[in-house]
Amino acid sequence: MNAYGGPADGNGPRPAGGTSPATPAPAAPGVPQPSTPNRPGAAFVAQPAAWQTWWNFQQVEFFRRAPRAGAVTAPPSGDSVGSDGTALAAMRARLLPRLLKDAKSPHATTREAALTALGRFGGNEAVAALRAALRDENSLVRIAAILGLGSTGASSASHTLLHLAFHGNGEGLRDGTPWVRQLSIVALGLGRRRGFTATVDPVIEALFKSPWSSDTERAEVRKACLLFVALSPTTILDAPILQSLRDESENLGVRTRALETIGLARLQNCVPDLLVMASHPRAELRRSAALALGRIDDAGAIPALVRMAENDNDEVARGYALASLGRHGDKGPKGVLEKALADGPKRLRPWASLGLGMRAWFSNRAVGSTAPLLAALEHESNISTRGAHAIALGLTREPLAANPLASLLDGSSDTDTRQLASLGLALVGVTPARERLVAHVVEDASPR
Amino acid sequence: MSLAAELGLGYLSDPKDVALLVRELDRSRNLFEARTRAVGLSRSQSPEVLKALEAALEDPKISRAAYEGILIALGLRLGGDPGLNLTLAQSGSNPDMWDEWQTVVAYSVL
């Protein structure tokens, strides 16, 4: 394994990048990046606060939506790639030959990028090139090919992926490719979103139930199957998911993943068990239950979250509960969040702040949220927590937040705080915010 | 810091910022920076972005990192977002349970 968690096969690590050298490159677009835990033998890296890790993984969701009406530019009409379908189709046709050529580039990173793009919009025409790349000498390129086959949504690609998921090899795949089954199962989930038929689903069920050769392999396959369900919700795994949840001897990672999948895929049949898990003795399971309860529209969800937010003995579980209360928008009790922000333990304030910001975001109105957040920002002495307030203010999308955020951006010497202030400004999205962001891009454009 | 500002500017989708963002993309020192900037650009709903990215691909002076970032951005804009990053977001709950293969998946689809 290399520094970022990828396979160590001589391909070398990806550039350690981003704006903070203490953290690995991100899985998600945006900054700062999520951090992986310190492992024995690994160089020590500073761990971010739990709320920062949470935000790093969540932020893509908020930057996927269009800015609200009245922002710098109006929200787009039509689909996510624009409304001029003819022009886009023409562009795809123009780019396809280039991508097919780049898929044979002497540079592995170029091949990887081309195959990823081919998977996204190449459809049937990309399948042959993606299959050929299964023989590539570079494992990251082969991984891009497996996932790209799923992204095509082409039925011919599903046969290859089903074979790889079952057998872990074959289809021309070069030996030494890591995590073949898991990657193929995730790729099948991508494909189900893009055109694979429901005939794939029973295969996933069979893979989940298979005994496999070791507990480790079984757990990894099960986690991949749960990611499949999160990508492409189906009730076909309801029974085995419940069985895993109730089995105290089941791998803990599988159980936490199962809980979170219940939330992401909104598996209503599993909600009663989810509520029970909110008071499980293991903190890891309560944390995952808290996250899932934020996404479940059930009468028991909010009371369970309030209990956790106020009484759980695990700080992270309490934090997740506060954030998940915010995800319920207007239905969630604002008073619990405001009390935690004003009077709660210091380490919970970032979570209360983010909960209030999310409450405004998901109810699509900032009424009553901005004032306590502005006050919290003004009086906050902890540099890290200021960043949480900045994000929360951004989530309110309240124009009044633009000036305080711009002041934080201009006045802070802490890189992380400045990054979070930038992201908060972008979420607010009014003209002064854009002007500040442009100014900072230009300021930072000094020769490197 | 400007990576965050550029992500924000891409999201704000003002056509006036496209040239600036493409220029910054070409200043990327490595593929990670280029990809992060490219993803920011891909968030822009401005039609100018697609024209600018396609034109940049034809620029013989553009860096390889930027070129690869543009391929990623065009894949996102022309093919749509699979939502995988959102799915992987769940792993933020228990970072000590983050599996290596999931990290690679997340990188690979960016």
Q: What is the DSSP string of A414-433?
A: -HHHHHHHHHHHHHH--HHH
- Smallest Cα distance from B61 to chain A, Å: 16
Measured CA to CA, the distance from residue A219 to residue A213 in angstroms comes to 11
Position A31 pLDDT exceeds 70: no
Contacts of B28 in chain A (CB under 8 A): none
| A193-197, A253-257, A442-446: segment of lowest average pLDDT | A442-446
Check B74 against A117: CB less than 8 A apart: yes
What is the predicted pLDDT for the residue at A445?
55
Which residue of chain B comes nearest to A435, CA vs CA? Answer: B9
Torsion angle defined by CA atoms of residues A322, A22, B95 and A409, in that order, rounded to the nearest 10 degrees: 20
Selecting from A84, A423, A438 the residue whose C-beta is nearest the C-beta of B20 gives A438
Which residue of chain B comes nearest to A192, CA vs CA? Answer: B82
More confident of the two residues B93 and A275: A275
Which amino acid is located at A93 in the chain? A
Interior CA angle at A430 toward A427 and A436, to 5°?
Answer: 85
Segment B23-38 shows an average pLDDT of 80
Position B90 pLDDT exceeds 60: no
What is the predicted pLDDT for the residue at A27?
35
Measured CA to CA, the distance from residue A101 to residue A104 in angstroms comes to 6
More confident of the two residues B35 and A251: A251
pLDDT tens column, A337-386: 999 999 999 999 999 999 999 999 999 776 778 999 999 999 998 988 99
Check B36 against A17: CB less than 8 A apart: yes
More confident of the two residues A333 and A11: A333
8 Å CB contact between A34 and A22:
no
Selecting from A25, A287, A291 the residue whose C-beta is nearest the C-beta of B32 gives A25
Check B101 against A220: CB less than 8 A apart: yes
What is the predicted pLDDT for the residue at A65?
57
Segment A203-226 shows an average pLDDT of 94
Collapsed DSSP state (helix, strand, coil) of residue A358 = helix
Check B94 against A287: CB less than 8 A apart: yes
Contacts of B4 in chain A (CB under 8 A): 19, 30-32, 418-420, 422-423
Contacts of A183 in chain B (CB under 8 A): 101, 104-105
What is the percent of chain A where pLDDT is above 70? 83
Segment A154-179 shows an average pLDDT of 96
What is the predicted pLDDT for the residue at A59?
79
Selecting from B20, B31, B109 the residue whose C-beta is nearest the C-beta of A15 gives B31
Position A51 pLDDT exceeds 80: yes
pLDDT tens column, A83-106: 567 888 899 999 999 999 999 999
What is the predicted pLDDT for the residue at A437?
82
Q: Which residues contact A370 (CB under 8 A, 6 or more apart)?
A: A360, A393, A396, A398, A400, A401
What is the predicted pLDDT for the residue at A448?
38
Residue B36: CB atoms within 10 Å: 29
**Nearest residue to A343 (alpha-carbon basis) of A396, A312, A294, A379:** A379
What DSSP designation does B63 have? -
Position A68 pLDDT exceeds 70: no
Selecting from B4, B106, B107 the residue whose C-beta is nearest the C-beta of A422 gives B4
More confident of the two residues A262 and A67: A262
What DSSP designation does A116 have? H
Lookup result for tokens 């459809």: A123
Check B80 against A5: CB less than 8 A apart: no
Q: How far is CA A171 from CA A158, A160, B16, B105, in A?
A: 12, 6, 48, 20
Mean pLDDT of chain A: 83
- Smallest Cα distance from B100 to chain A, Å: 5
Position A266 pLDDT exceeds 70: yes
Complex ipTM over 0.85 = yes
Measured CA to CA, the distance from residue B24 to residue A271 in angstroms comes to 47
Selecting from A1, A71, A120 the residue whose C-beta is nearest the C-beta of B75 gives A120
Check B12 against A64: CB less than 8 A apart: no
What is the percent of chain B where pLDDT is above 90? 5
Confidence of residue A3 (pLDDT cuts 50, 70, 90): very low
Measured CA to CA, the distance from residue A434 to residue B44 in angstroms comes to 13
Check A25 against B1: CB less than 8 A apart: no
Selecting from A433, A434, A441 the residue whose C-beta is nearest the C-beta of B2 gives A441
Check B85 against A256: CB less than 8 A apart: no
Contacts of B88 in chain A (CB under 8 A): 27-28, 57, 227
**Nearest residue to B73 (alpha-carbon basis) of B35, B31, B17:** B35
What is the predicted pLDDT for the residue at B106?
63
Segment A63-84 shows an average pLDDT of 47
Confidence of residue B107 (pLDDT cuts 50, 70, 90): low
Contacts of A193 in chain B (CB under 8 A): 82-83
Check A230 against B90: CB less than 8 A apart: yes
Measured CA to CA, the distance from residue A128 to residue A124 in angstroms comes to 8
What is the predicted pLDDT for the residue at B108?
58
Check A76 against B45: CB less than 8 A apart: yes
- Smallest Cα distance from B34 to chain A, Å: 10
Selecting from A63, A147, A231 the residue whose C-beta is nearest the C-beta of B108 gives A147
Check A7 against B104: CB less than 8 A apart: yes
Segment A58-87 shows an average pLDDT of 56
Position A122 pLDDT exceeds 50: yes
Check A114 against B71: CB less than 8 A apart: yes
Q: Which residues contact A197 (CB under 8 A, 6 or more apart)?
A: A155, A158
**Nearest residue to A11 (alpha-carbon basis) of A177, A169, A126:** A177
Check B1 against A415: CB less than 8 A apart: yes
Return the bridge partners of A79, or none: A82
Collapsed DSSP state (helix, strand, coil) of residue A43 = coil
